[in-house]
Amino acid sequence: MASDDPMVAALLREREGYVGRGMDDRVAQVDEQLRLRGVKPPADDKPTEPTSRSTPPKGRRARTTEQA
């Protein structure tokens, strides 16, 4: 859902981050702000696979602890 209103767009990005981290109380707060601006909050799109910080991003190699 895109918006021409920069505040609504920022709230939607903020909400997406909270959903990804499982911060339901913050999601509810952002939803309230969206409703006050006349926007229906999107359905919760929980990530199907949690992202692990221990795996390097695609196309990158993990650092090695060995020194040459």
Measured in degrees and rounded to the nearest 5, phi and psi for residue 24 equal -60, -35
User: What value, to the nearest 5°, has the Cα angle with vertex 48 and ends 44 and 52?
Assistant: 115
Domain assignment present for residue 12? The answer is: yes
- For residues 15 and 7, the answer to whether their CB atoms sit within 8 Å is no
Domain assignment present for residue 21? The answer is: yes
Which residue type does 12 have? L
Give the span between the Cα atoms of 24 and 54, in whole angstroms. Answer: 25
Domain assignment present for residue 17? The answer is: yes
At 19-66, the pLDDT tens digits run 999 999 999 999 999 999 999 998 875 554 555 566 666 777 767 776
State the pLDDT confidence band at 7, using cuts at 50, 70 and 90. very high
| The pair of three-digit structure tokens given for residue 37, joined into one six-digit string | 């601006």
pTM here? 0.60
| Number of domain units in the chain | 1
Q: Which domain holds residue 25?
A: 6-37
